[in-house]
Amino acid sequence: MEMKASQKIKYGNEELLGKGNLSVINEIFSPNYIVHAGGKDYQGHKFIKEFTKMLRSAVSNIEVVNIEILLQAGETIAWRRTLTGKHVANMMGALPSGQILEWRDMVISRFEDGMITEEWNVSELAGEMLSKKPHN
């Protein structure tokens, strides 16, 4: 039985971010995947793998606290996720604080043939990392 788009979003977050299971990328994301984030575009399965590894090494014990589907119109879904984890390594210039982070991402996902093909992502992660002072 094929998953609905909203189920695929929840499954993908739990497997990728929560468990680090990179093998689900081919099930969820189109080979032509592109994400628009922070004024830049990132493409392909290789980017998803690299970003997931980087995030999970900098933030340990990531928990997907909540996935909220805000709006669905045809093949496009607007949704918000809340994540937590402990900041244990340098990421994007933010020194590890050793503190628990909690951040939200707003995402719009466009599906094509049952796969996520394009996303727009706005994240609070960088601000949350920079707001925590590293322990000396």
Q: What is the pLDDT of residues 20-40, one digit of tens each?
A: 999 999 999 999 999 999 999
Q: What is the pLDDT of residues 46-91, one digit of tens each?
A: 999 999 999 999 999 999 999 999 999 999 999 999 999 999 999 8
pLDDT at 7 over 80: yes
| DSSP secondary structure code for residue 97 in this structure | -
pTM, two decimals, is: 0.92
Among 65, 50, 72, 51, smallest CA distance to 10 is for: 65
Query: What pLDDT does 135 receive?
Result: 60
- The two three-digit tokens of residue 57, written as one number: 């090494």
